[in-house]
Structure 1
Amino acid sequence: MTNGQDAWIRRYRAAPEAPVQVVCLPHAGGTASYFRPMAKGLFPAAEVLAVQYPGRQDRIGEPCITDFEELIERTFAAVRSATDRPVALFGHSMGALLAFEVAGRLEACGAAPTALFASGARPPGLPLDRSGHTATDDELIAELAALDGTDERLLQNEDMRVMVLSALRADYRMLESRRPHGSAVACPVVSLTGDADPVVSVGEAGGWADHTTGPFDLHVFPGGHFYLGDHWAGVSAAITQRLGRPAPVRAG
């Protein structure tokens, strides 16, 4: 196992010549390996760095983080340590909210991201349902099945099921510490969502426009909360399109 900040970052397809690195932040209960298809889809135009939170996969021996502010600060530190080129941030669901906060900290230290991609998430100004961590195992399994974001084979294996549900419940508990706010970043923001997402409406996904003073785009794909599984190519194309457009120069 890697140590220190290196424990946080996975490179599934190195692209040392790529002009930009895209840091991907997983959903609640999610893992870095979820973004393997994106690493393939963006190669060689961009190098994907996927964040691995404590308490899952090869970090299963570490305790999950229980405070959202701590997750922000530790992820920010890992991103600063691991990146050596212009950076864009891509987060799905909980990861989008985390990416927004990390983007703000990058801007504050003079290392503004080239873009923020917020996938499958309500904007930071809206509250979340914070009751998930009190659900029974059966209720969580039913939720995962409804969202179609977890390989059923993992849930059929008792040991894997325990690990998946433990991480998910811990992340839900952590999100209790998050407070909605109306701040904005200056970098371009791209919101991506599924047209049948039971968690995020298309209108809510469009609300990310209120959280940037820069350009905003909305991409709607067929599918539910985990629409990405059927649209990695389209998502990669949307990312490449945005990264290929320079942000406007601001007066003053």
Structure 2
Amino acid sequence: MTGAVEFTPWIKTYPSGRADARATLVFPHAGGAALAYRSLGMALARAGSNAYVMQYPQRGDRLAHPAPATVGALAEDLFAAGDWAGLGPLNLFGHCMGAVVAFEFARVAERRSVPINALFCSASEAPSTVADAPDLPMARDEILAEMVDLGGTDARLLDDDDFVELLLLAVRADYAAFNRYACDDEVGIAADIHTLGGDRDHRVSEATLRRWESHTRGAFTNSMFDGGHFYVNDHADEVAELVNAL
């Protein structure tokens, strides 16, 4: 069935080759490009999922695409990229800001009668807590300090002026949308929510992850892995097995 479904070329696909494979959509962190999730996409394929990694505007092959002003608009933009209903019940995996984008994608999908099996929220604060958190930085030096602190960017790349300018373009687009985001505690989805995090993440604790429980009318679980905010880089296969098992 998946072979008959067409998507825009900026969605990066990692097919499992299995006839019974479930589709898993991957939503990157703020400033993250689809290429950064190649290892996870391949791990998901090995575990039995057909993986589809989203590419946000203002980076990679969407460099010229205008940035949506809100997280909701970004979710609508990604939903319009293909006939998701043709893939059956979807798994959604989002890391950091990507989890909130995936949550809004799930809300769009449910309004359009596209079934969501489960939402996997990795290293992310819950939607209802975003508005009360301090705004994400927009100044160059503060953004770069944030990247170093989170640990998801090779520090050597930050010495490359061309790379930094492209990174800032993507990060500012995402941060601006995220800073405008607000969601009430009672807003939820029918799909199950499973949170994942690193046990040494100094930004997102297990207690922070558990705040997601109020946003599902289904089941909720939490799993912790050894590592920091980008623990998933070291546990791609384990994460993929977990996603494919639920």
**TM-score scaled by length of structure 2:** 0.88
For residue 212 of structure 2, what is the amino acid of its counterpart? W
The equivalent of 1:153 in structure 2 is 156
The equivalent of 1:34 in structure 2 is 36
Query: Aligned partners of 1:123, 1:20: CA distance in 2, in Å?
Result: 25
Q: Does 1:87 align with 2:90?
A: yes
Q: Does 1:9 align with 2:21?
A: no
The equivalent of 1:223 in structure 2 is 227
User: What's the offset of the Cα at 1:20?
Assistant: 0.7
User: What's the offset of the Cα at 1:13?
Assistant: 4.3
Residues 29 and 94 in structure 2, CA contact (< 8 A), matched pair in contact too: yes
Query: Aligned partners of 2:107, 2:181: CA distance in 1, in Å?
Result: 15
For residue 28 of structure 2, what is the amino acid of its counterpart? P
Residues 9 and 82 in structure 1, CA contact (< 8 A), matched pair in contact too: no
Residues 187 and 213 in structure 1, CA contact (< 8 A), matched pair in contact too: yes
The equivalent of 1:212 in structure 2 is 216
The answer for unaligned runs of 5 or more in structure 2 is 1-5
Which secondary structure state, in structure 2, belongs to the residue aligned with residue 111 of structure 1?
coil
Q: Does 1:171 align with 2:174?
A: yes
For residue 25 of structure 2, what is the amino acid of its counterpart? V
**In percent, how many aligned pairs have the same letter?**
34
Query: Aligned partners of 1:54, 1:18: CA distance in 2, in Å?
Result: 31
1:43–1:98 CA distance, 2 compared to 1 (3 A): same
Q: How many corresponding residue pairs?
A: 238
Cα distance per residue 1:56-75 (max 9 Å; x no partner): 01222223222222112112
Residues 72 and 104 in structure 2, CA contact (< 8 A), matched pair in contact too: no
Q: C-alpha root-mean-square deviation of aligned residues, in Å?
A: 2.1
User: What's the offset of the Cα at 1:217?
Assistant: 1.0
**TM-score scaled by length of structure 1:** 0.86
Aligned match of 1:115 in 113, 118, 121?
Answer: 118
User: What's the offset of the Cα at 1:184?
Assistant: 1.2
Residues 53 and 59 in structure 1, CA contact (< 8 A), matched pair in contact too: yes
User: What's the offset of the Cα at 1:88?
Assistant: 0.8
1:79–1:25 CA distance, 2 compared to 1 (3 A): farther
